[in-house]
Amino acid sequence: MKASIGFSLLILLSLLLSSCGMNMYDQPKANLYAAAPYVKDKVVGTARPLPEGVVSRERGAVDPTFYTALTPEGLATDLPIPVTMEVLERGQERYNIYCSPCHNFNGNGLGMIVQKGMPQPASFHDPRLRASPVGYYYNAMTNGFGRMFSYASRIPPEDRWAIAAYIKALQLSQNASLSDVPESLRDSLEVQGASR
């Protein structure tokens, strides 16, 4: 009995040891940046140069500010996209989807999650955030900030800039006075305000 158990263990051990090999590790493959003597144009390494005329799939190489919100002076103070009514409406739509659960629809930081007991995020109407450049908001959406996770995988760059533009417009709307409105539009505002 003991001999058969010992013999079985010996067979099992020999099977296990024979299965351990370097065959999968030592296989023919092109290692990154390894010498490639077969290349005629004398390029060293396996990372071949791109053919002429190839354009980056994203605008990062052409317009790094668009993707990073960074300029040589720091965070971008101007939007890299033209501000149109369509951009602001798109920003409002995306803000309502992604930002309002925490920051609320008016940006005061009292969104639904705060009402459910989560910590309150910053109000966009805080003087520190009102003075922040538009690139600050894009950067916060891209990289996250504090408890806020990154939205880079969820919101495309164009929409992040549209949201940043909407946040700046939201800040202006909550701290505006009648003197900020052109005289030609004041009468319509006063009539609308009186009818409410």
For the ranges 78-82, 92-96, 150-154, 186-190, the lowest mean pLDDT is seen at 186-190
Query: Distance from CA of residue 35 to its chain's centroid?
Result: 36
Q: pLDDT at residue 60 above 80? A: no
Residue 152 lies in a domain: yes
CA atoms within 13 Å, Cβ hemisphere of 146: 5
- What is the value of pTM for the model shown? 0.65
Q: Where is mean pLDDT largest: 16-25, 95-104, 176-185?
A: 95-104
**Phi, psi for 152 (deg, rounded to 5):** -60, -35
Looking up residue 133, the CATH number of its domain turns out to be: 1.10.760.10
Residue 9 lies in a domain: no
Residue 19 lies in a domain: no
Q: Where is mean pLDDT largest: 51-60, 149-158, 179-188?
A: 149-158
> What are residue 70's DSSP bridge partners?
75
Give the mean pLDDT of 181-193: 70
**Number of H-type helices and E-type strands within the chain:** 9, 2
Query: Distance from CA of residue 6 to its chain's centroid?
Result: 61
Provide the pairing of β-strand 70-71 with 74-75.
antiparallel
Q: Which of 157, 120, 122, 125 lies closest to 138, judged by CA? A: 157
Residue 25 lies in a domain: no
Q: Give the model confidence (pLDDT) of 102-141 as tens digits.
A: 999 999 999 999 999 999 999 999 999 999 999 999 999 9
Average pLDDT for the chain: 83
Query: Which residue is it, tokens 């533009």?
Result: 165
How many domains would you assign to the chain? 1
Residue 112 lies in a domain: yes
Between 177 and 118, residue with greater pLDDT: 118
Residue 135 is encoded by which pair of tokens? 């690139």
User: What percent of the chain is modeled with pLDDT above 90?
Assistant: 48
Residue 193 lies in a domain: no
Boundaries of domain holding 76? 65-174
Res 141: pLDDT = 96
Residue 86 lies in a domain: yes
Res 57: pLDDT = 65
pLDDT band at 196; cut points 50, 70, 90:
very low
Residue 189 lies in a domain: no
Q: pLDDT at residue 97 above 60? A: yes
Res 195: pLDDT = 45
